[in-house]
Structure formats: C-alpha cells, structure tokens
Amino acid sequence: MTGVAGEHGRHGEYVGIGPLDEYPIHQLPQPVAWGGSSDRHFYDRSYFNCHDRSGDIMLITGLGFYPNLGTKDAYVLVRRGDVQTAVHLSDAADPRGGDRMEQRVGGYRVEVVEPLRELRVVLEETEGIAVDLRWRGLHPVIQELPHVMRQGPGTVLNAQRFAQVGSWEGRIAIDGEEIAVTPELWTGSRDRSWGIRPQGEPVTPGRPAEPPFDGMWWLYVPIGFDEFCLCVIIQETPDGYRTVNDCTRVWRDGRVEQLGWPRVEIRYEPGTRVPTGATLACTTPDGRPLTFEVTSHLPTPIHVGGGYGGDSDWAHGTWKGTGFTERVTYDMNDPAVAGRVMFGVIDHVGSATVHGPGAGVPDGTEGWGLFEHGALGRHDPSGFTDWFDVSGG
C-alpha cells in the first residue's frame, strides 16, 4: 500500500498524516499538517499583550508555527521603564502537526481552556523570566477583514485574524521579583492570525519592485470598555490611500456595529515618530458621531526583540536549531537602540475615552487596551517626507 503522495516515514507511517486528521476539520484534500499554501511564508500564530493601568510595565508574547519552514517559536517581551527584555525560544516543528494540539516550544506553552473565552500562557523559568497567566475574554472575538498586501505581482501578506480584549490573572517573575497579576487591574488584547506573511531567513528578492517600497502607515487599536469593545485597523500607502479600513464595535450582548471611515489625528512626541495619543472620529451606522481620545502610557517597540518588522535580533520562523533559548536586554536610551524605534511598529499601553451622541454610554467613559502604531517611511498626510523625517511638534 502506498501513501497519498507516495511517501512514507522511517517506519512506514505516512508523512504528513497526524493526530489532527482524526477530526472532521479538513479544508483541503490533504493532511491538516500541510499548509493550505506551499508558500514558504505560510504561518499560524498567536499574539498577546498584558498590562496594568499604571504604565509601568507591558508584557507582549506569542507562539507561532511555520509548517513549510519546519519550525516553531515563541517569545516573551517585557518593557519596564527604560529597559526592554526579550526571551526567545525556537525548535523544530513536528512534520505531522501533532505539536499543534499541544502548543509548546521548550518551556513555553499556550493552553486552550475554553475556545474563544479562556486560555493559559506559561513560560517555565527561562533565563530568569517566568510567566503563568490566565486569559479571560471580556467580549466576543472580532473577526477582522482579510488583510492582503501586494508588491508588484507578488503577494507579501494574505492573512486572516481575529481579535479579543480581556483580563489577565496570575504571576510574572523577573529575576526573582514576583509581580502579581489581578483581573481587576490587568487587561490587554490578543489575536490569532494565519496565512502568508514574511517569515524566516531572507530569500533572493528577484527583480526590484516598481514602484519601490516607500513606507507604510499602520494603526491598530483594540480597546475594551465595560459595555463594548472597539477594534480599529487602518493601513495607508505613502500618499494616504487607505488599503485597509476596519472599524468595528462589539457590544457585550453580541451586537456588532461598523463605525465607518474614521478620521484620525496622531499626536507625536516632538523630534520623533513615537505617538503620545490619537483622536479617532467615527460614525455609527445611523449617522451619529462619536470620538475616541486615545492616550499612550508606555511604548514597546515590537521590532526590538519581538521579531516583527525587520527586527535585527529575532525573526519569526528562522531556524535556530533544536531547543534554542536566549535572553536579550535592551537599554532604550542607548542611541543604537533608540535609533531603531522609528523604523517599526510600536505597541503602547493604551487608554481611551469616548465622547459624542453615538457613544451609547456616558460621555467620557474610559477603556483600556492596545494602541499600536507605526509610521514607516514617507506619509504625506502626516508630513513625513522620507524615512528619516520626524515630527516637528
């Protein structure tokens, strides 16, 4: 008897068939372990952020599988004051997908307690850092619009994602210091995304893109209020053309509203591209205006140790060998580190107040969550003329 693809494992097992194939979850006529695309950049990843309301600490973490690269990895990134610390873990992925049922990389794991409602994130003590946190969603998940980016004839990104705001409970340990995490004070957002996105080692680029990549403007704001959660996703080209516009409010009872085409004003720290806040002017489906005033309480550049957006120290999906771990610490006042900040996306501990006739809650009601922004390269509406231009105040 031969396998579907004529391939057998070392002991006669079909290459690719694994535990997930026992369940009626197939979407393609092939084993679940094989990605729906042969693109080397196919991925499936989780992202979490965790913070209190002080602006003193932000923890960002996640785990990813890269089936066509044969790798899996995880990271924990902590910003406290002027120090940012990263723990990286990487390993070989099971070619039959069995480890996707037990999401684990070394001493890091994500446990699904109740799908779409409750999870547990654990990092056993690694390089002086340990985490044991339980996530509980405060509102239903938000299915975001598909996110597609093309450069010339090629697809750079083609992904699906869902987001959720929630609370955290548990502990964070850093070099022997225990930080208690209580759901009354600690909140954040999470997302799951999968599809095609640049991962792993660089590949030969081929013909240069025309026109060349001059930059990207990005805003992602999932914030939770007592009665509803807000999720704003906007991406613009250097001339301000909006390639992604998704502004959704989900009420605690499950009602979903689209809040139109937000008008956005970002406020930057003078001489930088680090935002201090933003104003989002939205509209309810029946035409009533509402405004969200967003404030940054702590910026955490996710391309400094987090593996995103050209991080020079850690790239998701890169083969590091089996059982790899490392810890990297950054002084955010070091000019060599500070100089990298404007060339990537920054995640902020964010708060927001809502105002206007369409608020649906008392004027000035406050919410907390993620304020993620990046102004990379040229962006005409912001007045940034090239990659090195900064805000004048």
Question: Is the pLDDT higher at 179 or at 20?
Answer: 179
User: Are residues 173 and 130 in contact, defined by beta-carbon separation less than 8 angstroms?
Assistant: yes
Question: Is the pLDDT higher at 209 or at 95?
Answer: 95
Q: Which fold has domain 42-200+212-382?
A: AttH-like fold (2.40.370)
The pLDDT value given to residue 25: 87
- Binned at pLDDT 50, 70 and 90, residue 101 comes out as confident
Selection from 245, 251, 252 nearest residue 219 by Cα = 245
Average pLDDT over residues 107-114: 97
Question: Is the pLDDT higher at 101 or at 188?
Answer: 188
- Binned at pLDDT 50, 70 and 90, residue 21 comes out as confident
Question: CA–CA separation, 7 vs 15, rounded Å?
Answer: 6
pLDDT tens figures, 314-354: 999 999 999 999 999 999 999 999 999 999 999 999 999 99
Please list, in sequence order, all residues whose beta carbon lies within 8 angstroms of the beta carbon of residue 154, skipping any fewer than 6 positions away. none
Selection from 388, 60, 383 nearest residue 220 by Cα = 60
The pLDDT value given to residue 280: 98
- Binned at pLDDT 50, 70 and 90, residue 17 comes out as confident
Question: Is the pLDDT higher at 205 or at 112?
Answer: 112
- Binned at pLDDT 50, 70 and 90, residue 155 comes out as confident
Question: CA–CA separation, 280 vs 232, rounded Å?
Answer: 9
The pLDDT value given to residue 393: 58
The pLDDT value given to residue 14: 46
Does the structure show a pLDDT above 50 at 4? no
Residue the block writes with tokens 């450069």: 151
Does the structure show a pLDDT above 80 at 12? no
User: Are residues 339 and 364 in contact, defined by beta-carbon separation less than 8 angstroms?
Assistant: no
pLDDT tens figures, 236-280: 999 999 999 999 999 998 899 999 999 999 999 999 999 999 999
The pLDDT value given to residue 208: 80
pLDDT tens figures, 77-90: 999 999 999 999 99
**What value does the mean pLDDT of the chain take?**
92
Residue the block writes with tokens 């699904």: 112
pTM, two decimals, is 0.93
User: Are residues 137 and 116 in contact, defined by beta-carbon separation less than 8 angstroms?
Assistant: yes
Selection from 183, 332, 307, 159 nearest residue 233 by Cα = 159
Does the structure show a pLDDT above 70 at 64? yes
Average pLDDT over residues 99-119: 95
Q: Which two tokens stand for residue 211?
A: 């026109």
